[in-house]
Amino acid sequence: MTASTLIRAARKSRRLTQQQLAERARIDQSRVSRSERGRDTEFGTVERLMAGAGHRLYSAPTQRDDAATVAEEIRGHLAAGDKDRALRALLQLNDNLVAERGLVRGVLGLAEPESTRHRAWDAALAGLVAWRLHEEGLPAPEWVNDPSRYLEVPATLQIDPADPTPPASEVPEEFAERRVLVWRDTFASV
């Protein structure tokens, strides 16, 4: 995760504006903005902003991208109209989660991702993190159960219109709860 993504996720998890975080961290709002854009990522600034948002900065022994970073990547692909690459990013997150065990797996799902600006994809991210953490017996972070991470009407990710809709028996439970219709075998390692 980049420092800018981490700071933004920490701020948003506490539902703070940049100005409110600046006041809590005792720095000016423009510095918060620069940090969220990746222009001020000194360790001291990052640590101070994290503390201002009520978080501590820890590192985990992994080089894998977390859910917040992947959500940002997916948002970019979807904005460019490239659902295939967005799906590949989601599958990479799946592989990242499956490759890690215990606490490190939990860390990859901990920071709340910003919205991809597509409800089905936001719900899919939440379903994937909930599924893979549940597999490991880990608690799911609060963000995966946010109402905005659930669809009102069942839907697919609409990658290929020719793809058949999977039956309920072929959809992972955590996706089905969020009404995201994806094939379980889509996430099988090759």
- The Cα–Cα gap between 12 and 14 comes to 5
- The Cα–Cα gap between 29 and 55 comes to 18
Lookup: tokens for 137: 């017996």
The answer on pLDDT for 115 being more than 90 is yes
State mean pLDDT over 26-47: 88
State mean pLDDT over 6-35: 90
pLDDT of residue 44: 86
Backbone φ, ψ for residue 11 (5° rounding):
-65, -50
pLDDT digits 0-9 by tens, 61-112: 788 999 999 999 999 999 999 999 999 999 999 999 999 998 889 999 988 8
User: pTM here?
Assistant: 0.76
- pLDDT-based confidence at 190, cuts 50/70/90? low
Least-confidence region, from 31-40, 50-59, 159-168: 50-59
- The Cα–Cα gap between 119 and 152 comes to 10
pLDDT digits 0-9 by tens, 149-173: 999 999 999 998 889 999 999 999 9
Q: Which of 179, 151, 178, 149 is nearest to 165 (CA)?
A: 179
First to last CA, the chain: 26
- pLDDT-based confidence at 1, cuts 50/70/90? low
Lookup: tokens for 175: 């996706």
